[in-house]
Amino acid sequence: MTYCERKLKQIYDNFTFSLGVYCHNEHLMGILYVDALNQLNNQIIRLKKVRYPQGELTYFANHYRRLMTQYYESHQALA
């Protein structure tokens, strides 16, 4: 597992845990989702600044962004 993947997976893991805690409140889930996406974007910007390989960065950024969106939408449907 690369450094980039570890950093983005950590944000995803924190998001999934917190979403499980707040799954009964749609408002808090929405705030959490937006905040997690902002954290992901900020981490991507930091990695770009240190010239991390663009291909790997794009792949993992899209992968974890898609996972977060799917996880959020599946929990939103249950709430």
Q: What are the Cα distances from residue 27, in Å, to 13, 20, 38, 56, 72? A: 20, 14, 17, 33, 12
% of residues, the chain, pLDDT over 70: 99
Highest mean pLDDT among 20-24, 67-71, 72-76 belongs to 67-71
What single letter denotes the amino acid at residue 56?
E
- Joined together, the tokens standing for residue 10 give 């950590």
pLDDT at residue 79 tops 70: no
Instruction: List pLDDT tens digits, range 2-44.
Output: 999 999 999 999 999 999 898 888 999 999 999 999 999 999 9
Q: Which of 8, 1, 15 is nearest to 45 (CA)?
A: 8
Structural domain count of the chain: 1
37-61 confidence digits (pLDDT tens): 999 999 999 999 999 999 999 999 9
Print the domain residue range for 42: 3-78
pTM assigned to the model: 0.91
